[in-house]
Amino acid sequence: MGVSQQQIPGTGTPLVERMANVTQTPLNPGDSPLVREALSSVVSRETPAATQPAAAQPGGTGSEGDGSWPRPAKCRVIAVANQKGGVGKTTTSVNIAAALSMHGQRVLVVDLDPQGNASTALATEHRGDVPDVYQVLVDDLPMADIVKQVPEMPNLYCAPATIDLAGAEIELVSLVAREARLRRALAAYEEVEFDYIIIDCPPSLGLLTVNALVAADEVMIPIQCEYYALEGLGQLLRNVDLIKAHLNPTLRLSTIVLTMYDGRTRLASQVADEVRSHFGDTVLRTVIPRSVRLSEAPSYGQSVMTYDPGSSGAMAYMDAAREIAHRAIVA
- In contact, 153 and 97? CB cutoff 8 Å: no
- Interactions with ligand ATP, residue window 257-286 (CB under 6 A): 259-260
Is residue 108 within 8 A of residue 194, CB to CB? The reply is: yes
Whole-angstrom distance, CA of residue 302 vs CA of residue 3? 13
Binding residues for ligand ATP restricted to 184-243, rule: CB under 6 A: 203
Q: State the CB neighbour count (10 A cutoff) for residue 74.
A: 12
CA neighbor of 320 nearest in space, from 209, 245, 223: 223
288 contacts ligand ATP (rule: CB under 6 A): yes
- Of residues 89 and 322, the one with the C-beta less far from ligand ATP: 89
Rounded Cα–Cα distance for residues 81 and 89 (Å): 7
Please select the residue that binds ligand ATP; options are 18, 106, 148, 290, rule is CB under 6 A: 290
Residues 72, 151, 301, 313: which binds ligand ATP (CB under 6 A)? 313
Q: Of ligand ATP, Mg ion, none, which one sits near residue 87, judging by CB under 5 to 8 A according to partner kind?
A: ligand ATP
- Closest-by-Cβ residue to Mg ion is 90
Q: How far apart are CA 165 and CA 132, in angstroms?
A: 8
Should residue 89 be labelled a site residue for ligand ATP when binding is judged by CB under 6 A?
yes
By the 10 Å C-beta count (0-12 exposed, 13-18 middle, 19+ buried), 281 is classed as exposed
- Per CB under 6 A, the segment of 88-96, 163-171, 211-219, 240-248 that binds ligand ATP is 88-96
In this complex, which beta carbon is closest to ligand ATP, that of residue 56 or of residue 99? 99
Taking the CB of residue 270, how many other CB atoms lie within 10 A of it?
Answer: 12
Q: How far is the CB of 24 from ligand ATP (least distance, A)?
A: 29
Is 11 or 204 the residue whose CB approaches Mg ion more closely? 204
- CA pair distance 34, 293, nearest whole angstrom: 17
Closer to ligand ATP by Cβ: residue 118 or 182: 118
Under rule CB under 6 A, residue 294 binds ligand ATP: yes
Which residues make Cβ contacts (< 8 Å) with residue 24, sequence separation at least 6?
A: 149
Residues that bind ligand ATP (CB under 6 A): 85-91, 113, 115, 117, 203, 259-260, 288, 290-291, 294-295, 313
